[in-house]
A and B are shown apart, each in its own frame.
Chain A
Amino acid sequence: MSGQGYQGKKNIPRITSDRLLIKGAIIVNDDQSFCADIYMEDGHIKQIGENLIVPGGVKTIDAHGRMLMPGGIDVHTRFQMPDRGMTSVDDFYQGTRAALAGGTTMIIDHVVPEPGVSLLSAFEQWREWADSKSCCDYSLHVDITEWHKGVQEEMEALVKDHGVNSFLVYLAYKGVFQLADSQVYEVFSVIRDLGAIAQVHAENGDIVAEEQRRILEQGITGPEGHVLSRPEEVEAEAINRSVTVANQTNCPLYVTKVMSKSAADVIAQARKKGTVVYGEPITASLGTDGSHYWSKNWAKAAAFITSPPLSPDPTTPDYLSSLLSCGDLQVTGSAHCTFNTAQRAVGKDDFTLIPEGTNGTEERMSLIWDKCVVTGKMDENQFVAVTSTNAAKIFNLYPRKGRIAVGSDADLVLWDPDVTKIISAKSHNSNVEYNIFEGVEVRGAPLVVISQGKIVLEEGNLHTTEGCGRFVGRKPFSDYVYKRIKARSRLAELRGVPRGLYDGPVCEVSVTPKTMTPASSAKSSPAKQAVAGAQPVRNLHQSGFSLSGAQVDDNLPRRNTQRIVEPPGGRANITSLG
C-alpha cells in the first residue's frame, strides 16, 4: 500500500514544502465511504484518520462533510493531435487545464505514429510535448498503425523501458491505420506475451469505406453522411470480431469509444461468456446523441463528428449509462480531440475529410454524476470506480492512482453534489468554438481539485502550472487483468493424440496446393507459443467425455462395425461405383 517505489521520472514534486490538511470530509473510494481527515505532504497522502498529528501551520481546508474522492482519470485523450498538417486546438496545456477544471487529475493520451514512423520516436515526440505543457500527471497509450517485425521489437522496448502497457489497434480507417484480422491476431499475441492491454478502435473499415463511397455517390456530402456511412451494426460487428480474436489469443481486450447500444450489448454478452473485455463509453456517447448530424447549421453538425459516430438513437446515452452503472461497461474517457470550425471545414464538401473528435474532458465527471448518480443508477462509490479506480486498475496504476489511501498520490477532488451549472462554449476551458454539450445543465461539480498535493482549483479559480505534469510509467501484467489470463494460459495446453502411423494406401495428388492454406503471413510471429489459445472453458483432454480411444457411443450397437474400424484404410479403394 505505501509508496513502494513507483515508476515515473520526476518523482518528487518541485516544491517539497507542499503540506495540506483536509478536515471533516467523507472519503469516497470505490468500495466504501467514511468520515476522516486527510494529511498530505510532498504530493503523497501521509495520514488518514481522526485527530491527526500534523506539523503546525499547514494549510487546512474544511470540507464541511462533503465528499472527497480520488481525482478522475481520463483514460482517453488526444491533445495536440496532428492531423494532415493541422493540430487539434487543445494542446497539452489547454487540455489538461480543462481536465483539472472538471475534476480529472490524470489523463492518458494516445500516441498516434504516422504509418512508417517508428513507435519509439513518436512516443518520444509525445513525451516532449506533454512534459513541457501538461499541468497534471499523464501517461500514454501507443497506437499500432502498421504491423511488421520492427514494430514488435519497439513494442517490447516500450513495455520494458518506457512504461507503456497498452496499445491500440484500428479495425477502421482502411488504407491508413487499419490492420487485417491476421495482423490483429499477431498483435494480440505479442501484447499478451508482453502483459499489456489490447485496445481496439472497433468499426469495420471495409464496410465503412464502401458505404462512404455509396453515400457520396448519392450526393450526400454533409455531416449526416458520416453517421449514415458508419451505422452501429458496423461497430458491433468489429467488436464481435475483436472479442473472437482476443479469445483465440487469450489476450485482454479493451474497447475504446463505445458509442452505440449494439456495441455495448456485444461487450456485455462477451463478458457473460467469460471473455476478459472492458468497454469505454465516452463523455459524448453518455451525454448526447447523433441527431445533431442533421442540424441545418453545418458548423454545428460538423462539431459532432467523431468515430464511431454518436448514435442517432436518442435513447442511447441513457442505455449506456445504465450499462456503466451495472458494471457491463467499466471505464470512461472523453476521447477529447477538438478541432475548430475552420479546421472542420476542410471537409465542407466531403464529410469523409472532416477531422474527427469531440470535446469532453472537462465535462466527463459532472456529466456522469448528473446522468448516473443523480438519477439513482449508481452510488458515489461506483462513480469513483468508473471515473477513476477501474482505469487505475486496468492500466496498473492502482493504488497509486484511483484510491484515497496512505501512500497514494495526493490527487483529490472535493465534490459538490448540489451545484448546478450550464455547459457552454462561452465558459468552458477548451479552445474550441463549439461545445457538443452546449446548454446542458448538469448537477454536481468539483469544488476543490488537488493535483500532486497542490490546490489547482479553488473557489472557481484555476491555478495550474504548465509543465508540472509527470509522466507516470505503467508496468505490464496488471493484476486486475492478468490474474485470469495467466490462469487460462496454464489450462490451455494442447496435446496431440498418440496414434500409430497410418500405413494404408495414400491417394496420389496433383501438386497444386488446394483448399488448405499454409501459414498465413510471411512475417513470422514468434509470439505464438504453446501457452495460450483455446478457451479455458474447454480442455478437451480433461473433460468428462473421453477423447482418445473409447468413444462415448462405443456402447451403442456399433460393435458390428469392427470390421470397418479395424484396419485404417485397410479396405481397398472403393472409389466410384458409378
Chain B
Amino acid sequence: MALEGMEIIAIAVVIGLFVVILKQFGIWEPLSLEDSCDNDLVLSMVRHQPEGLEKLQAQTQFTRKELQSLYRGFKNECPSGLVDEKTFKTIYSQFFPQGDATTYAHFLFNAFDLDRNGSINFEDFVLGLSVLLRGSVAGKLRWAFSLYDINKDGYITKEEMLAIMTSVYDMMGRYTSPSVQDDAPLEHVDKFFQKMDRDGDGVVTVDEFIETCLKDENIMASMQLFDNVI
C-alpha cells in the first residue's frame, strides 16, 4: 500500500510539473484571474490636458503670466498632468519632516479635488489657489469650511473637527515644547465649538462659521497673510 501511495504521489508530482511548464509556454491557460497589472498599465497612460488659458483666466483671478508660471511648475512636478493622492501626500509630507502630515494631506486633497475623482488636475489646482490667494475673505472662509467638512454635508460635527485637529497636531510630531498632550486636540475642538457653535446644536454650519470668523480680529488678520505668495 505504501508503495502505491508513493507511486501516486510521484505521478501527481510529475503531472504538476507538466502543468507548470505548459502554463509557462502559454499553451494551456487555465481559469486564472485576470492580472491586475493590465489595469495599472492603462491608468498610467492617462494624461490630462488642461483647459485653455483663456478659460482659466476667466475662471480664476490669475493673470496670464501667472497661470503660465503656475502651469510650468505643476507640469514639472507631475508630467502626466494629474496628481494622485499618494503623490500629493509624499509632496506635502516633505514640508513637515518632523511629524506625520499624511492625514492632513488627505483632507487637503479632498478639499482640492473638487470633482472627487481621486486626482487633482490643473484646473482643480489653480481654482483652489485662486480662491485662497486672490479670493474674497468670504470665499476663503468657505474654502476652509469645505476643508473641515469632511463628508461635505454642510455641517461640521465634532467628530469631523476632532479628526482635522488630530491631523494638524500630528503634523507637529513628537518633539514639541510644551509637548502635546493626548487630549490637546479635544480641548482645542471644544474651544473651537464654543466659539463657533452659536445655537449650540453640536454642529457648525457655514453661516455660523463665516459670521463668527468675520467678527474675530485674529482670524481676519491672518486671512490676508498669504496674499502675496504668488
Same complex for A and B? Answer no
User: CB within 8 Å of A: which residues of B?
Assistant: none
User: CB within 8 Å of B: which residues of A?
Assistant: none
